[in-house]
Amino acid sequence: MTTPAVVCIGMAGSGKTTFMQRLNSHLHARDTPPYILNLDPAVLNVPFSANIDIRDSVNYKEVMKQYNLGPNGAIITSLNLFATKIDQVLGIVEQRAKSVSHVLIDTPGQIECFVWSASGTILLDALASAIPTVIAYIVDTPRTTSPATFMSNMLYACSILYKTKLPLIIVFNKTDAADASFATEWMTDFESFQAALKDLDDDENNPEGGSGYMNSLMNSMSLVLEEFYRHLDVVSVSAYTGAGIDDFLEAVDRKVEEFNTDYKAEMERMIRERQKEKEAERQRSLNRLMKDMGLKDQAKPKTKNDQAQTISDAEEEDDEDEFADRFVNGEDAEGILDPDYEEGDDSDEAMS
């Protein structure tokens, strides 16, 4: 089976980096070491050894200083700078993926800096075009026990799924501190979620209760998201004890099969459409050029007042007319047009 890439996304404090450490240790214990990328430029220390680290390429503090940015702006700018080298990074990852079991990617705790930025989209699209890519959305289980925070997390997971268009696994982390059975029950049985909302509304001492509008909204959203839940894999893990890691790896294998059968076909279709649009635009540009040259060739005869005043002017006009005739007839005017020329060659050469 093709080596999958697992992109770990989670809110700050959800235990995302600790989960990465546990997953890394578990795979090493199985003698199937992963290849790890760290895309968080602001982290001081990581509890695992990253094979590719954005901090080796971009200095986060210098970015803040030179561009006069705050923390979030500096993270986005650092990712933008790193994305300019995505072709080199992707070449390395593709080469190393042949000899490892998984490619693990840690992302910034500020989700919006990665998921909703242009650089994050570029990185994910480039990675998914090379190897099967799965999103692992890490949820802080102890902080999701109330219906309001649970629904907020599910809406965020839904937005990530439709933004990235990649297979998604919801990972309820920290199950050593709080059991995640309530979450799986709410996702599979909307009546149990409605009962929890009713209990919350009846509890006058609960600061989250008593809001009829919010409870009505969450009640409606639970019905809307029922179809969304059916396309998800949900696992409960503890990054502290290691419980549930095998279940997570099995979910990754299922999502890789889903990627190859559904997502890959859709991605290839989108690539073909972009290529068709590019070719159509190129044809339109060529037609405009041919039209301009044709109009010049069919210009009305010069009057006596329009005739050239010198011999050199007359020779230049004859040369221009000859070039237009040869161009319209499909001839290569003195090698000016390269038959192997493709649009974009000049820009690629400039970028290199």
Q: What does the alpha-carbon distance between residue 155 and residue 8 come to, in Å, rounded to a whole number?
A: 17
pLDDT tens for each residue of 26-47: 999 999 999 999 999 999 888 9
Q: Which residues pair with 233 in a beta bridge?
A: 169
pLDDT in tens, 206-231: 555 545 677 788 888 888 888 888 88
Does 336 map to a domain?
Answer: no
Among candidates 148, 137, 164, 141, which has minimal Cα distance to 222? 148
pLDDT at 349 over 90: no
Distant-in-sequence, close-in-space partners of 67: CB < 8 Å, separation ≥ 6: 73, 74, 77
The amino acid at residue 276 is K
Q: What is the structure's pLDDT at 52?
A: 94
CB 50 within 8 A of CB 37: yes
In this predicted structure, what is the pLDDT of residue 348? 43
Q: Find the CATH number of the domain harbouring 123.
A: 3.40.50.300
In the structure, what pLDDT confidence band is assigned to residue 193 with cuts at 50, 70 and 90? confident
Percent of the chain residues topping a pLDDT of 90: 44
What confidence tens digit (pLDDT) does each residue in 262-314 have? 887 777 777 788 788 888 888 888 888 888 777 544 545 555 454 444 444 44
User: What is the pLDDT at residue 39?
Assistant: 94
Domain with 191, as residue range(s), is: 5-259
Distances (CA, A) of 128 to 103, 136, 166, 191, 304: 12, 14, 8, 37, 66
Query: Any idea what DSSP says for residue 172?
Result: E
Which amino acid appears at position 94 of this protein? E
As for how many domains the chain has, the answer is: 1
Whether 235 has a pLDDT exceeding 80, the answer reads: yes
Give domain status of residue 244, yes or no.
yes
320-326-330 Cα angle (round to 5): 140
* More confident call, 138 vs 188: 138
What digits encode the pLDDT tens for the residues 158-177?
999 989 889 999 999 999 99
Residue 96 lies in a domain: yes
Assigned domain for 189 exists: yes
Distances (CA, A) of 207 to 121, 148, 214: 38, 11, 13
Q: What is the pLDDT of residue 256?
A: 92
The answer to the question of residue 304 being in a domain is: no
Q: In this structure, is residue 124 part of a structural domain?
A: yes
Residue 286 resides in a domain? no
For residue 334, what pLDDT band results from cuts at 50, 70 and 90? very low
User: Which residue spans within the chain are E strands per DSSP?
Assistant: 5-10, 35-38, 52-53, 103-106, 133-140, 168-173, 233-236
Of 57-61, 299-303, 346-350, which range is least confident? 346-350
Average pLDDT, the chain: 81
- Residue 351 pLDDT > 50: no
- 266 in any annotated domain: no
- pTM above 0.85? no
Structure tokens that stand for 184 in this block: 């799986």
